[in-house]
Amino acid sequence: MYVRLVAALVFWCSLTGALMFGAAGTAAWPAGWAYLFATYGLGVPIGIALGRREPGLLRERLAGPYRGGQAVWDKVMVTVIMLVFFAWLAFMGLDAVRFRLSHVPLWVQCLGGLGGLCSVWAIYLALRENPFASQAVKLQRGQRVVSTGPYRVVRHPMYAGGILYFLSIPLLLGSWYGLALAPVLIALFAVRAVFEERILMRELEGYRDYAAHVRYRLLPPLW
């Protein structure tokens, strides 16, 4: 299982790095390397910690985002999110390095790096608390409502961590234009959360009561 974890991280890191640095036109991009480390390098200890705590969840997430029994709309949504996400990363390489359209102060980039680390930690806390946090929107055998940890605050803490990630990474990479495009990804996550909740309300026992108790989906006290 851990071999699969490392292999998956190496694959996605290589693909992402090739895309980003290819768009940038150079490997001399310290912020780009910092991003890869924060996103994929930390994935090894986080994945090992998750595997020791919830090995079934780690196996489930390593199975990928497409699954049997998954709604067609979710397969389409996942595909769109992935395409937009990688296009976003490539665009920031063009903006911040190749054409140098944005000029982000170093202290702001450091702030973005800190925000990125916090977002990774927030996502890990949600994964650690919820053994049913599959990449695909579908009910699993024996699934129950999780209302502890970050799920006491918002109904979708992983998506909330994703919002912080989308706002922080453009700052780290030095791209104001990337930050301006971040709401597109945030909106896609918000739409997925709404559609996911329709399934949970309809099929997961106790979720309607949980939603009535935990009022906010992503951002207290806004939504």
Q: Is the pLDDT of residue 68 over 80?
A: no
Output the pLDDT for position 141. 79
Look up the pTM and report it. 0.93
Sign of the C-alpha dihedral computed for residues 66, 68, 57 and 198 taken in this order:
positive
Number of H helices, E strands in the chain: 9, 0
Domains of the chain: 2-134+144-213 (1.20.120.1630)
Name every residue whose Cβ is closer than 8 Å to that of residue 141 and which is 6 or more positions away in sequence.
Answer: none
Q: Are 165 and 185 in contact (CB under 8 A)?
A: no
What are the tens digits of pLDDT across the range 70-103? Answer: 888 999 999 999 999 999 999 999 999 999 999 9
> Which whole number is the average pLDDT over 105-114?
97
Determine phi and psi for 100, rounding to 5 degrees.
Answer: 50, 50
Which residue carries 């170093």 as its tokens? 106
User: 196 falls in which pLDDT band (50, 70, 90)?
Assistant: very high
Q: Is the pLDDT of residue 163 over 90?
A: yes
Determine phi and psi for 3, rounding to 5 degrees.
Answer: -65, -40
